[in-house]
Amino acid sequence: MDIQQPKPESKQYKDLIRELEKGVIQIPQFQRDFVWSLEKTTGLLDSILRGYPIGTFILWKTTNRLNSVKSIGDKKLPNAPTDKSIEYVLDGQQRIASLYAAYVGIKLKKEGERTVTDYNKIYVDLEKDIDDSDEPVVLPEEPSSTNITLHKLLQFGDDFTEISKNYPEEIVKKINAYYQIFNKYDFSTVILRRDDINSAIDVFTRINTGGQVLTLFEIMCAKTYDEDKKFDMRIKWRDLIKELQNTYDTISSKIILFILAFILEKKECKRSVILNLDKHEIIDRWERAISSLKKAIDYFRSAYRIPVSQLLPYDALLVSFAYFFYKNEEQPNAKQSKFLEEFFYRVSLSFRYQSATETKLAQDIKRIDKILSNTHPEYKDIGTLEYSSEYLQKTSFRAGNSYCKAILCLFAFFQPKGFRNNELVKLDNAFLKIAISKNYHHFFPKAYLNKNKEKESVKDLDSNSLMNITFISDEENKKQIRDTQPSKYINQKYLKNEYLAKTLETHLIEKNFGIEEDDYRLFLKQRAKRVYKELKKRIEI
């Protein structure tokens, strides 16, 4: 077996900078941002000046083109030349970026920070001697002693006349000596010459075990990047999420990879299968894959009235529905609609994607194939669902629980309205992440129930029962109802709402559910029966 071994080489400082400025060395987009502080950069440069080893750079030489970092600080990096092999940095990105920042004198404003770091303001103390002093010679702040900026020192060959005017002859000699040390320092590099991207990504993953681990999506972004076709999966996904802002913008990037695997006729969506998907097939099918995903989202929003992705029991549900719309571009017929709704609730209420999601998705795509052929799929592997009225009463509400989310989706279907003004309650991704969120309201407020623990209608009952949850607005929840019992905030405060009975119905609640008596036990029992009735319609076809 003929295996090309990594080839050790050395590069000098000017060579590194020249190759970066020509686009021959590129930093792949999957590398993390340049995060080194000025202090860490000056420590690196001080080590170079003293001739200390600073580690090896690992580069991947290839004719492939990856999406690359376009700038470091305020300095733009050139595109890769079209007619040459490129050397992508797999290890040593922070060190190479630091060397570049210091050499060209970039200005960098890090995300979330107000201050700008100026790499022109790295100084070399010219009164210290690198042979006699353990103290750093390269400094992040200007010393009171005679000094020169590192940027000027590194340009010594070009600015000799100006420097010789401003410094005594002995100091000029020292500047020249330091200039020679920097420019003749041999940076150790290892060149990986295998042209397949899988090897390069494997190397990157292995050498970064203590740092950044690439996600499957980041790997596929690197593998599918195509300059000629202007295809950058990362940017295309970002644009989609931006388009879905405030509705379905919380869905995972893994979803599109699963969809691609199935629409490319693979029977599985495991990592190994996705990694071996053909780049050109992905590019060719991308637009249809995204269109199918959008149709699935539109269907969830219209047919099931799930307005935001935070309510979805699993965003993996979008995979099966996108596959349906990829195979069937029309809206589902009456029979298919019924089968799809049953599929949605059986998956959601069974905690199906809590583990082994990829394996179960492969099984569920077969169910979707049956639905596409107007055939009712079997659910023997899922087993009997537990959604009796007794079970619903005993289930505690947890915002991240798929079972609870399935019930919340049912609540959302009835488009709940505000108790006071009968206006549609606006649900928001930002408000639905945690159980104490602004949109979640305990119809019998927890504070009220806790005060009345000894009452027979409250005793031994869970105040956080799923059947006690409703959707209302932030203002109504926190400012108007607060800890008031239902008999008061429904019958007194809200008498002005002439549509009160219809408003309550949008929450699957009726006035005879023990509201006037503040009978929590009766309320849970009656509402659970009502919810069970609605679930049964959707599941027991």
pLDDT tens digits, residue range 136-168? Answer: 999 999 999 999 999 889 887 766 777 888 888
Residue range 251-269: mean pLDDT, rounded: 96
Q: Where are the domains of the chain?
A: 7-197, 215-372, 389-539
The reported pTM is 0.77
Q: How far apart are CA 295 and CA 259, in angstroms?
A: 13
Residue 443 pLDDT exceeds 90: yes
Mean pLDDT, the chain, whole residue set: 88
- What single letter denotes the amino acid at residue 164? S
How far is C-alpha 304 from the chain's CA centre? 26
Q: How far apart are CA 347 and CA 363, in angstroms?
A: 12
Residue range 269-275: mean pLDDT, rounded: 91
- Three-state SS for 376-443 is CCCCCCCCCCCCCHHHHHHCECCCCCHHHHHHHHHHHHCCCECCCCCCECCCCHHHCCCCCCCCEEEC
Q: How far apart are CA 417 and CA 494, in angstroms?
A: 13
Residues in the chain: 541
Q: Could you tell me what percent of the chain has a pLDDT over 90?
A: 52
- 68-85: b or e for each residue (b if 16 or more CB lie within 10 Å)? bbeebbebebeebeeeee
Q: What is the pLDDT of residues 94-129, one digit of tens each?
A: 899 999 999 988 888 877 677 888 998 999 999 888
Q: How far apart are CA 399 and CA 409, in angstroms?
A: 12
Q: What is the pLDDT of residues 477-495, one digit of tens each?
A: 555 677 788 888 776 555 4
CB atoms within 10 A of CB 132: 7
Q: How far apart are CA 180 and CA 111, in angstroms?
A: 36
